[in-house]
Amino acid sequence: MDWMDKLLYPLQWVVAWILAIFHEIFTAIGLQADSGWTWVLSIAGLTVVIRALLIPLFVYQIKSQRKMQLLQPEIQRLQAKYKGKKDQYSRQAMAEEQMALFRDNKTSPWASCLPLLVQMPIFFSLFRVIHNMPKVASGDVGAIGGFTQQLAIQAENSSIFGISLSAVFTDPGVAVKLLTGVLIVVMAATMFITQKQMMAKNMSESAMANPMMQSQKMLLYVMPLVFGIGGIYFPLGVLIYWLVSNTWTMAQQHMVIRNMPAPGSKAEKEMLERKARKGKTVKQEEIKGSTVTEEAPKKSGQRQQPVSKNRKKNKKR
């Protein structure tokens, strides 16, 4: 067992058990234990479980993105304040004020990356389980959780269109390169489309004008490229996991953007137009911020001043 297996063993143990449980479920309903499609369904089941567990993180991501939208006037005020000041002290002061603004409002421009970052250890754990599958089958490596030697032998003997789950693009054979190549392209394409629809439809013009969005735009092209190139070393089983995960993300994000768009975004305008065409009354709170109530952004370095009871009564009058 190398250092990576030792580091990821707890997650590998969980991933292997989930795979084993789904495999047992599908064989119990009549599917063949050594069929490649049984293992594909088991990997899909693993993906659904992982993505379901990540739903709270996805909700946090959406809320953070909405808070970033509401913070745009404050961010633009800071940019105007330090416009033309390129000395080190001014740039540091602007960065500190921006970080204080994000901290006070409990958000971050990098919140959109959280689901991907959390998935990476799980992704590599599945990678190592499938990578070690031949060694577990031969007995050179012990069982990983519920992934026993018998299960490993069944998985190793299974295939999809005659291709093993542990096969990679660099393996010899036209069929291997064709199937894994198609999956790599589709995987990268779904990742690009998911990020593109978020930027194109669920961000206001002021948010897109933020200089910080330049780094986000770079990720739009860099991440699919990285996974596309790295995909030639991913086993077929891992490619299936990532494809199912990307499809889940794309569908989930489409539903959220369609029904709960960010304030001022193109998706919000489209939602209001759909309701108008159907003759539905558009509520005032939907115009201000879709269906989610947002808190007013807190300005960095400012605190709420106490108000006496008499002053409160006068305000009400």
Annotate 76-87 with b (16+ C-beta within 10 A) or e (fewer): eebeeebeeeee
Distance CA 29, CA 307 (A): 67
One-letter amino acid for residue 262 of the chain? A
Distance CA 250, CA 43 (A): 18
Tally the residues of the chain. Answer: 317
Distance CA 143, CA 136 (A): 6
For 121-174, the pLDDT digits (tens) are: 888 888 888 888 888 888 888 888 888 999 999 988 888 988 988 899 999 889
Distance CA 233, CA 198 (A): 29
Cross-strand partners of 144: 147
At 302, list the tokens: 């400012």
- How confident is the model at residue 287, as a pLDDT? 45
Q: pTM of the prediction?
A: 0.73
Residue 246 clears pLDDT 80, i.e. is over it: yes
Task: Compare 161 and 95 and report the one with higher pLDDT.
Answer: 161
Under DSSP, the state recorded for 297 is P
3-state secondary structure of 59: helix
Distance CA 183, CA 228 (A): 10
At 147, list the tokens: 């992934």
Residue 4: pLDDT band (50, 70, 90) is confident
